[in-house]
Amino acid sequence: MFTKILIANRGEIACRVIRTARKLGVHTVAVYSDADARSLHVEMADEAVHIGPSPVGESYLRGDRIVAAALATGAQAIHPGYGFLSENPDFVDQVVAAGLVFIGPSAASIRAMGLKDAAKRLMEKAGVPVVPGYHGEAQEIVLLASKAREIGYPVLIKARAGGGGKGMRRVEHPDDFSEALSSARREAKAAFGDDRVLVEKYVDKPRHIEVQVFGDNFGNAVHLYERDCSAQRRHQKVIEEAPAPGMTPALRKAMTEAAVKAAKSINYSGAGTIEFIVDASQGLEADRFWFMEMNTRLQVEHPVTEMVTGTDLVEWQLRVADGEKLPKTQSEITLSGHAFEARIYAEDAAKGFLPATGTLHHLKFPGVAPEGAAMRIETGVRAGDAISPYYDPMIAKLVVHAGDRLAGLEALRTALAQTEIAGSTANTAFLAALAADPDFVAEDIDTGLIGRHQEALTAVAPPTGEIISAAAMAASGAGALPSSNDPWSSLAGYAHFHCVARRMRLKFGDEAIQARISVRSDGRFQVALDAPYDSTNSHDLRAVPRLARWPGHITVFEGAVGYTFAVPDPLARSDEAAAATGSLRAPMPGLVKLVRVAKGDAVIKGQPLLILEAMKMEHIIAAPHDGVIAEIAGEGAQVTDGTVLVRFVEDQSASTAAAGG
């Protein structure tokens, strides 16, 4: 076994690899950018090497610096994790040329599967079913539009390089093809440096089912059964599970055999995933699945496979890369129970899953697994860490395993309800709602489920009077946080014949809240809320809800929902005048990719004004109302969170005249 390896990655996956390496007695070397200097993976590794500034192009994508770090520290091999350079065959060549071992497949295998169009042609030759579509080299818009018409709408435009839903657009009508193609190309170019696409038939009720495969350098290849990743939003996975619900013996046999055949056709070594699209419109049939692509690396969702098969896939990676045969034969790999993985992201589900940034002032995961279940928390952050705009906004992966699917879902919902995050917007409430969705529970799943139910899944009930009262008490210092057992830790005040009332101001979003807090003789607090709540609630300090206090804010947790209240500084000047100005600000740091209007243009509510690229995704900034553009950011501008992108003419008469003239 290797004595020292370098991990060419960051965050959650770097921490994951380090844990297995420790178990095997292998020393680890971390690499880090400026933004990650104090990160968890740096703290966990035995050594760490700085490789450059925060942008990935100047650090985690610099293969030369990573190889140099491995040589300088005496590492024998490099584990790429996933993302970044994990599927870059040129990087593999660099590693091998330096006399190091790449913990993954050969450069030839990666090249064979690296481009979706070429991979599908290869799979057709190998006898693996492929979804109908155009996978050719020609990229002229006239040709692509013609092929789309031949295939029949709706079609799916897909970047031929990369994955994660980037550079992917569904097109319902020929009139929308040109705009969708341009947008897909821009996003693909930004994410993968390659704007070429393929066009495929869009399956009406698609299930995304993938098979975990593993090969070694002795010609052996096995599968570790399937995972279902159909719960997606914007073509990105949200909750994954294993095994796939509703899977039939006939389909599992056909699909796993096709997956192993695909791996053997390219002499694959290491962990890989064969992704299939399945037409579920008439149930799961053995002749209704098609190859989509192969991921020549470890997948984000690999823990669910580990849970149901009792394996450590990272250990397998290290052993195979070190020259060992596969640890198990096909007959020795069995399924047990059901596992779910929920991806906890810093994002605002109610705002179209807009990525969020911020400091994780409070971060608490369940201390023990729900009854009857096993649980894993895979994370690369801890309380006090910041979610950076430079990288994927994942906070953690919550993984549960139980005896069957319904028990697993119950365990997932329970664990999500016990997760507490404050300081950055997180998607825990959305995940809990999805885990309780009647169709999801009933196994009526396809990749469009979240889109169809998005309004209900992202809706959060307003805070109750009790929740607001708890926030007001915490803001006033009355009582204490749940960590304190002393109800007298805060001075209540004294009056001779009546209780003392203290007035508190809070803000929930844009809503100002007034509360009056009085302490009673029995030690409980009475909180009266002004209209529109107009209610009175009594609270016993021994039953304070779960909450977190962080600079200028209070977050009260109710199940998987975190209600965050701003606590205004009474000495701070009001900024209401600034809030009333007619402007649009950047919701996050990013790059102004495309500007669609100019100064002086009259626009209507909902009209796209510009496209902001952030975290490798495109976000449309639309007009919130009718008006006339006074100023607009220029294309190519790099903006920070809160930067003014658009200003409107304040004189509404000028707006009306421009719109009419």
Q: Among this protein's residues, is 297 annotated catalytic?
A: yes
> What is the rounded distance in angstroms from the CA atom of residue 370 to the CA atom of residue 172?
44
Closest CA to 298 of 557, 515, 149, 103: 103
User: Hey, is 471 helix, strand or coil?
Assistant: helix
* Residues comprising the chain, all counted: 661
Looking from the CA of 89 toward its CB, the CA atoms found within 13 Å total 14
User: Hey, is 601 helix, strand or coil?
Assistant: coil
**Could you write out the three-class secondary structure of 611-644?**
EEEECCEEEEEECCCCEEEEEECCCCCEECCCCE
If you search the block for the tokens 């009077």, which residue do you land on? 465
446 phi/psi in degrees, rounded to 5: -155, 175
The strand ranges marked E within 148-252 are 155-159, 168-171, 197-201, 206-215, 221-233, 236-242
Longest dimension (CA), the chain: 91
Is the separation of the CB atoms in 7 and 79 below 8 Å?
yes
215: β partners: 221, 270
Choose, from 227, 297, 343, 413, the residue flagged as catalytic: 297
Residue type, 141: I
User: Hey, is 19 helix, strand or coil?
Assistant: helix
Looking from the CA of 258 toward its CB, the CA atoms found within 13 Å total 30
Structure tokens at 440: 């999801």
Q: Please enumerate in sequence order all residues whose Cβ is within 8 A of that of 190, keeping only pairs 6 or more positions apart, or say none.
A: 593, 613, 616
- Rounded to the nearest 10°, the torsion over CA 39, 44, 46, 50 is -10
Q: Which residues are catalytic?
A: 297
